[in-house]
Structure 1
Amino acid sequence: METHEIAESAAVSAWLSAATVHPAASADLWQENPHIPRRLLCGVTFDIVLADRQLIETAYQLLAQYEQPLGPALTFVNLRSAAVLVPPGTTVRWNGLVAASQWSERLPRPACLGTGHAILVPALAPQPTAGHVHWLISPDNEQGIGGAPLLTSPVPLARCLAEARALHTAALRSPLSRVVSVVKAVLPSSERA
């Protein structure tokens, strides 16, 4: 998936700075130096869903395929994880959204973080070699509502993460176990054992 970088609009800057301890001072600092990363508080303008980077990238491909809106998402350069910005309050219901899916230890269950957590995000126009975190999709006020960028909806995200997990789990299985699964699928239930 391509990384998108956009010039920072006043609306996006205001939305990002609202998630800081000192919004006005943060907005002024970012205007003076638009290339510095930002430390944002979760639970104010967004919560974050953390998961394996491959799962999030695949889930975003599935969301696009299903014509669901794609909100901002981040990848961490030195980690195998990524984060999706979701509406504030998602943390309260996240466990219920992913409870139906069973997650193996190989691909840990996605976590949702809200109030009490913070995340470092890159500038929207970062220097080419800067930082350990990059936008997978950056905030875009053109698709936003009332100056706030559109965020990924947690319900389709949870479903697409589960589907991505199933796709990755199937790809990780050995050829022999795939053959056994296919044979079991075509045999009548009385002949399976």
Structure 2
Amino acid sequence: MDAAGAKNAVDWLAAVAPDPDACREEWERNPLGVVLLPAGRRWDVLIVEGELGYPTLDVLTRVIDRPGPVLSDFGDSRMGFFVPPGTASRWLGTGVRAAGAGTWIVTPYPGRATGGVRWIVPPDGTGTLTDPALLELALHEAVALRAAP
């Protein structure tokens, strides 16, 4: 990610913070390079186990050029797919945690290494999100591929 792309991504993410300027300053000062951002404004996050997340991302990238942002936590045990706001309140998938309005997400600074949470697919700053219907189909295919002999 180049400097202009990182700035656009930071601006897009920080726009959901109660005080975007304070958010940017916190990102700069925080030695871990992370901030808490509220879900449910511009995006929700669907969180799956890493064992399912990586195959799901593989399926998605075969179908579309670029999915929305995807986070991975410490040790790649969980992955979070950024989807349109409101998705969390309607999601009915087993084994999927949904973070929407009223929840906060640990978010790393785009384009900068952090000590744990990291971007697998960084935000592009344009608001690209993963279509939840497409994500659901990719999840089903990833489960089927894992179950195949």
TM-score, normalization: structure 2? 0.85
Distance 2:62 2:75 in 1: 28
Total equivalences in the alignment:
148
Measure how far apart 1:9 and its partner are: 4.2
Who wins on radius of gyration, i.e. which is larger? 1
1:44 CA drift (Å): 1.3
For residues 35 and 6 of structure 1, the distance between their equivalents in structure 2, rounded to whole angstroms, comes to 21
* Letter in structure 2 aligned against 1:153: D
Which structure: greater strand fraction? Answer: 2
CA RMSD of aligned residues (A): 2.4
Task: Give % identity.
Answer: 29
Give the TM-score taking structure 1 as reference length.
0.67
Alignment partner of 1:131 is 2:109: no
Determine the C-alpha separation between the residues in 1 that align with 2:121 and 2:2.
10
Matching of residues 11-50 of structure 1 within 5 Å:
11-30=8-27, 36-50=33-47
1:112 shift after superposition:
1.6
Per-residue displacement from partner, 1:118-145 (whole Å, max 9, x unpaired)?
A: 1112111323xx321111100113xx2x
Residue aligning to 1:164: 142
**Residue pair 1:35, 1:124 contacting (<8 A) in 2 also:** no
Q: Which amino acid aligns with 1:118?
A: W
User: Contact conserved, 1:78 with 1:132, CA < 8 A, in 2?
Assistant: yes
* Structure 1 Cα separation of the partners of residues 107 and 134 of structure 2: 24
Residues 34, 108 of structure 2: 8 Å contact kept: yes
Q: In the alignment, does 2:90 pair up with 1:112? A: no
- C-alpha distance in structure 2 between counterparts of 1:155 and 1:124, whole Å: 26
Q: Spell out, residue by residue over 1:12-46, the C-alpha distance to the aligned partner (whole angstroms, 9 max, x if none).
A: 22221122232222134446779721211111111
AA paired with 1:117?
A: T
Unpaired segments ≥5 residues, structure 2: none
Contact kept? 1:35, 1:126, Cα under 8 Å? no
Q: Distance in 2 between matches of 1:31 and 1:44?
A: 23
8 Å contact kept, 1:49–1:113: yes
